[in-house]
């Protein structure tokens, strides 16, 4: 089977919310259990940091990229015949989103399948449920996951040490997993390696960020835990039929 259109990225440092990277959590479809499990973490990014992602090529070399631009390029590579969106109520200009077929695609899907979410929209939705979401204000949010299956492995975990050193954590080591439980907590800071895969599930287009590896960087102010997949229910669904972590090591509400 040919590989689906994919880009490999290293994120800038982000705050982690709802981390479930030690044990997988069950994905739900419209609130109902599906029997599909994934490791996942919600990354909260400062908006300028969307310009600081590093794209890794086949030779392992990195290039600084604008995340929004490379995601649109991935979509056009996967689906080159996307029609433009024509809105006669908006003036025509080269920068007008009505001329952008990728923006049009995800607008038609009410934002489903586009991986960058607006933190302000998430905060507002939480407040309607009388819950706090101050950590999302003015931020951009990306849910990253690694599906549990026969062809996938858990994301590689590591922690930063002094003097630019780092340590990979062994999932079979009770001591290392106790360390992971203390470090991979909501509010702390991390960076990750992800594979963004373009695919179609149930007739809808998705750009899904799969979590290859994640490294704890430093402590941050803590906030509550929970199940991130509940709030992204139906948005980043689907399963990969290949291993997005293959060949990787620990080093290696829509915003359009």
Encode pLDDT of 141-164 as tens digits.
999 999 888 677 899 999 999 998
**What is residue 107's predicted lDDT score, i.e. its pLDDT?**
86
Tell me the two tokens of residue 246.
């293959």
What domains does the chain contain, in order, with CATH numbers?
6-231 (2.40.50.140)
With 0.95 as the threshold, say if the pTM is over it. no
| Strand ranges, E, within 95-135 | 116-118
* Nearest CA-CA partner of 237 in 33, 27, 32, 41: 27
Tell me how far apart the alpha carbons of residues 103 and 25 are, in angstroms, rounded to a whole number: 31
CB 120 within 8 A of CB 16: no
* Nearest CA-CA partner of 17 in 144, 126, 105: 144
CB 103 within 8 A of CB 95: no
* Nearest CA-CA partner of 53 in 253, 254, 209, 240: 209
Tell me how far apart the alpha carbons of residues 58 and 51 are, in angstroms, rounded to a whole number: 21
Tell me how far apart the alpha carbons of residues 20 and 15 are, in angstroms, rounded to a whole number: 14
Tell me how far apart the alpha carbons of residues 212 and 133 are, in angstroms, rounded to a whole number: 27
Ranges of residues in the chain whose predicted pLDDT is under 50? 1, 225-253
**What is residue 115's predicted lDDT score, i.e. its pLDDT?**
97
Encode pLDDT of 86-131 as tens digits.
666 666 665 555 568 898 899 889 899 999 999 999 999 999 999 9
CA 112 → CA 5, 162, 207, 238, distances in Å? 18, 41, 9, 12
Count helices and strands (H / E) in the chain: 5, 11
């Amino acid at each position: 089977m040919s590989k689906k259109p994919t880009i490999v990225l290293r994120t800038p440092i982000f705050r982690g919310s709802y981390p479930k990277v030690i044990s997988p959590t069950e994905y739900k479809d419209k609130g109902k259990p599906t029997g599909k499990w994934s490791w996942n973490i919600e990354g909260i990014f400062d908006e300028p940091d969307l310009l600081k992602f590093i794209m890794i090529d086949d030779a392992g070399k990195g290039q600084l990229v604008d995340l929004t631009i490379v995601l649109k390029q991935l979509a056009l590579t996967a689906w080159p015949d996307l029609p433009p969106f024509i809105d006669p109520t908006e003036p025509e200009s080269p920068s007008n989103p009505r001329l952008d077929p990728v923006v049009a695609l995800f607008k038609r899907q009410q934002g489903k399948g586009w991986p960058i979410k607006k933190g302000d929209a998430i905060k507002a939705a939480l407040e309607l449920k009388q819950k706090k979401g101050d950590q999302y204000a003015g931020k951009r949010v990306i849910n990253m996951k690694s599906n549990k299956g026969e062809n996938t492995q858990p994301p590689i975990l590591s922690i930063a040490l002094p003097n630019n050193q780092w340590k990979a954590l062994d999932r079979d080591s009770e001591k290392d997993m106790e360390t992971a439980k203390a470090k991979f907590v909501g509010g702390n800071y991390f960076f990750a390696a992800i594979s963004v895969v373009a695919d179609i599930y149930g007739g809808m287009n998705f750009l899904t960020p799969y979590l290859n590896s994640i490294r704890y960087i430093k402590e941050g102010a803590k906030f509550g835990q929970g199940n991130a997949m509940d709030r992204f229910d139906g948005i980043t669904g689907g399963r990969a039929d290949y291993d997005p972590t293959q060949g990787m090591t620990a080093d290696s509400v829509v915003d359009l």
